[in-house]
Amino acid sequence: MVRGVLVLLTAALALLWGWDVLQAPASPAHPWWIARQEAMYLSGLLAIGLMSLAMYLATRPVWLEAPFGGMDRVYRAHKWAGIVGGSFAIMHWLVEMSDDILKSTIGRAGRVPKEKATGLLDSLQDLAEDFGEWGFYILLVLLAITLWQRFPYRPWRFLHRAMPVIYLLLAFHSVLLAPRDYWTQPVGWVLAGLVAAGIYGALRALLGNIGQARRVRGEILAVTQPAPDVVAVSCRLPAAWHGHRAGQFALVTFDPDEGAHPFTIASADGGDRTVEFRIKALGDHTRQLPSLLRPGQPVDIEGPYGRFDLSRINPRARQFWVAGGIGVTPFLAWLGALQNSSAPAPAADLHYCTRDREHDPFVAELQALCAGLPSVRLHVHGSAQGDVLDAHRLLKDTGPGEAAEVWFCGPGGLADSLRRGIAGIGRRRLSFHQEAFVMR
């Protein structure tokens, strides 16, 4: 879905640009100078169009969760729209810099004449050129550190706050320097809509009210450590919290300086406005949580979000639920919700993949939950015991034409391995659902 949205927007903008080129009167300028100008227009159009999409998606629009398949995919689209848009901005700058090459090869003769402006508009266009240059250089730095995964998260998050300002500079540059005939054609109307959406997102980011309507302040009830590298945090939320569906996640802020992090809600909704998170120590922030958190401390929780939802399973398809490590948390919520459900539990095979099944604290909990659900068959795979799950083992009891669903939450490497294996088997009637919320 994410790739499709980016490809569709890129293709639509390219087609609209092409329509404008076809409508333009013949120019006496040299073909290379014309090509350079149109390449600048196209790369600039794609850059600002995709960055506008990224800025709007940064507002976490809940109405897009259903068509995108979850807020994790909305965020992924935001991330890649920004990266691809930034790449087109680099292309735009490189084309701009190519004028010296053309001057040295074909000379200044035959250049495309510039659209003349006077008075205030001329001054604004000069300012827009400066804004575009400053914004581009800052964008280039931010794009580099975003792609450099070893750059520490906290300073990256601080620098990332500058993106709305950079976007506004580039939007000003784009609107003031776009060809005037754009605004009388579909390409200009679409550009105006995208820039308006991007400005809306940038202003909301600068005002700090993204997600405010879905944010509540709760209180930590208990902090425990079921394992040396896992902390369980139970929270009580106010009446403004309207509950969650099993499998959803929330953006949790324990420390305002650290900001919000997405954690799956590991408990089912019992109607008492309490939620529990199981958090694995995967970075500096999460490693420090056991020593930082205490009962009675406030916690800001935004959500719930996500479509990794028990109610979305297809009852006519064979169910395979696969959890890897801390990815077991949505399935703990699923199993908890099924304990008190009046409807019969679906028939499903739950595969839990861990390093050492003999010492994993989740194994006993899963066994206890599944004991009351005879239709859910638990399979525990411990790599230390030489038991590694692959696609053949996962699907060994299914026929080639049987409809099946895989609901997966865990490491990306395991997901990729299972996907490749399933593709190698040639299973066509199989849906693979995966939640993958990566902050950068």
209 contact partners, CB below 8 Å, separation of at least 6: none
Burial of 339 (0-12, 13-18, 19+ CB in 10 A): exposed
The per-residue pLDDT for range 154-206, each reduced to its tens digit, is 788 888 889 999 999 999 999 999 998 999 999 999 999 999 999 999 999 99
**What is d(CA 137, CA 424) in angstroms, rounded to the nearest whole number?**
45
Beta carbons of 196 and 278 less than 8 angstroms apart: no
Distances in whole angstroms, Cα of residue 338 to Cα of each of 214, 232, 239: 26, 21, 24
The pLDDT value recorded for residue 117 is 62
Nearest Cα to Cα of residue 353 among 399, 311, 402, 413: 413
The pLDDT value recorded for residue 388 is 92
Beta carbons of 45 and 52 less than 8 angstroms apart: no
**What is d(CA 211, CA 205) in angstroms, rounded to the nearest whole number?**
10
Strand order in the sheet with 404-409: 376-382, 348-354, 318-324, 404-409, 430-434
**What is d(CA 218, CA 211) in angstroms, rounded to the nearest whole number?**
16
The pLDDT value recorded for residue 60 is 95
**What is d(CA 142, CA 86) in angstroms, rounded to the nearest whole number?**
9
**What is d(CA 367, CA 369) in angstroms, rounded to the nearest whole number?**
6
DSSP for 245-267, written as a single string: -TT-EEEEES-TTT--EEEEB-S
Beta carbons of 212 and 66 less than 8 angstroms apart: no
The pLDDT value recorded for residue 237 is 97
Beta carbons of 292 and 255 less than 8 angstroms apart: yes
pLDDT along the chain (440 residues), means of 10: 90 96 83 90 97 97 92 93 95 90 79 70 80 88 84 81 94 93 94 98 95 95 93 96 94 90 94 95 87 96 93 91 95 94 90 93 94 95 92 86 91 92 83 76
**What is d(CA 380, CA 48) in angstroms, rounded to the nearest whole number?**
49
